[in-house]
Amino acid sequence: SDVTRVTTSCVVKVKERNRRKRSSSGCRRRINTSPETCQSLRLTRPFGGSRPARMGGGGQLTEPAEEVKGRAGGVYTWQEVQSHCSRSDQWLVIDRKVYNITQWAKRHPGGIRVISHYAGEDATEAFTAFHPDLKWVQKFLKPLLIGELAATEPSQDRNKSDFHTLRAKVESEGLFRARPSFFCFHLGHILLLEALAWLIIWVWGTSWTLTLLSAFLLATSQLQAGWLQHDFGHLSVFKKSSWNHVLHKFTIGHLKGASANWWNHRHYQHHAKPNVFSKDPDVNMLHLFVIGKTQPVEYGIKKIKYMPYHHQHQYFFLVGPPLLIPIYFHIQIMRSMISRHDWVDLACSLSHYLRYLCCSVPLYGLLGSMLILESHCFVWVTQMNHLPMNIDHEKHQDWLSMQLHATCNVKQSPFNDWFSGHLNFQIEHHLFPTMPRHNYHLVAPQVRALCDKHGIPYQVKTMWQGFADVFRSLKNSGDLWLDAYLHK
């Protein structure tokens, strides 16, 4: 029996020793990965750490950066980069470095669409224009880097050197620094106009005259609040992006009843690709209008007739301004907040409506009158800078040319500056969207000189010419549609 116990003990020890060897060998096999795999594993941990990184654009990275596909440290041609421009495969170039954004685009704080619009292209100017703190946001690109352009490949943006020089010059002159007193004044006069509007009807009554006066003051207050939220939305007031985001939610949510996230995702697409069909939401007319010179002919040839487009310059006054803000935008915004579970923006928006309903329940028709008046002002101011300009499919133009062909200015005056929220300097705003609006007039002469040097048209109109051009462009597009519909 003693011999049996000893033998059994030896067998157990041998089995345990063999099990440990197999386990150790298995561990070594799992850890012994190739250098390529190790590189991929490093790329999945942003900045060499495992904690999530906070995004400066208002978003939050909650997962490690994805493993990128491509030759790490590779050299690429434009042809190779441009072949990666589908929804499931997206590369872009920033400062001649090539990045694979296929998976990360879904977590882009500005939305997947705005960054995807530059798939297969040079996004350097857009990246610089939209991010006020370049050094901070550039570190988020590191896990996505897969290589660079070959030395023989040209820069896709012509005129880039001169535009970079201009940007560096205006930065050195301090034109990207905001004056807090300017924006405090604008917020103060917005609140004052609204308080005065309610005071008039609550103290002196609700006669037609006083109701219209109150509606006019409220519409003016709302219009100016729209321009102020635009400033915060473009991160042009405070150095810290977080402060801009907080004030943006207050102004667009509590003062306007809209959604900051909805605005960001929509408006930045407009800036990234202005007047480009399928990329700029502002030229998506839902078949109510045909605009530009290309779309009317395409609709006419295909015999598309949702509306009598040759009369669109006439029914614009009945369908456009009266319905945009009171009906279309409010429905779209509510659907967006609910479908995206954007409860913070929804709470801010509901606080706006609660305030207005509490004040206007005894005052029949005031809210509707105010919305219609505001909508008219908003539509005319925003459309006179873009609708008469070139509207077409993607042409892959350089940044300077693309923005100038899609925008125009309205002459400066104290009233024009105030009434349009300084968006009468639409060209300068599109070239430098994070620049505080009170500095547009200082950079305008330098922008004009750059355009003259490169033969790029720099258009400036009176405000009445801008309004008339909206009407004229709709009529011209309608005539193009009718000709193609009848004869092609």
- Topology adopted by domain 51-156: Flavocytochrome B2; Chain A, domain 1 (3.10.120)
Give the pLDDT of residue 156: 67
Section 450-456 average pLDDT = 94
Residues 6 or more apart whose Cβ sits within 8 Å of residue 48: 42
Least confident of 123-132, 136-145, 448-457: 136-145
Residue ranges of domains in the chain: 51-156, 180-487
Give the pLDDT of residue 358: 78
Q: 321-335 burial, b for 16+ CB within 10 Å, e for fewer?
A: bbebbbeebbeebbe
Angle between helices 260-272 and 241-249 (to 10 degrees): 120
Give the pLDDT of residue 243: 94
Q: How far apart are CA 236 and CA 178, in angstroms?
A: 7
Q: Which residue has the higher pLDDT, 55 or 371?
A: 371
Q: How far apart are CA 212 and CA 210, in angstroms?
A: 5
Whose tokens are 């020089």? That residue is 165
**Residue of 105, 46, 417, 479 whose CA lies nearest to 292:** 479
Q: How far apart are CA 92 and CA 145, in angstroms?
A: 10
Section 205-218 average pLDDT = 85
Q: Which residue has the higher pLDDT, 419 or 362?
A: 419
Section 468-481 average pLDDT = 96
Give the pLDDT of residue 163: 92
Taking 60 as the threshold, does the pLDDT of residue 460 lie above it? yes
Section 170-190 average pLDDT = 96
Least confident of 60-69, 96-105, 245-254: 60-69
Section 152-165 average pLDDT = 82
Angle (nearest 5°) at CA 35 between 30 and 40: 85
pTM, to two decimals: 0.83
Section 19-37 average pLDDT = 39
Taking 90 as the threshold, does the pLDDT of residue 208 lie above it? no
Q: With bands split at pLDDT 50, 70 and 90, how would you rate the model's confidence at 363? A: low
Dihedral through CA 179, CA 433, CA 230, CA 103, nearest 10? -130
**Residue of 124, 180, 176 whose CA lies nearest to 149:** 124
Q: With bands split at pLDDT 50, 70 and 90, how would you rate the model's confidence at 178? A: very high
Section 210-223 average pLDDT = 89
Whose tokens are 């879904």? That residue is 106
Give the pLDDT of residue 367: 64
Beta-carbon count within 10 A of 16 CB: 10
Classify strands 145-149 and 409-410 as parallel, antiparallel or unpaired.
unpaired
- Per residue in 246-269, pLDDT (tens digit) is 999 999 999 999 999 999 999 999
**Residue of 164, 157, 163 whose CA lies nearest to 396:** 157
- Per residue in 255-307, pLDDT (tens digit) is 999 999 999 999 999 999 999 999 999 998 888 999 999 999 999 999 999 99
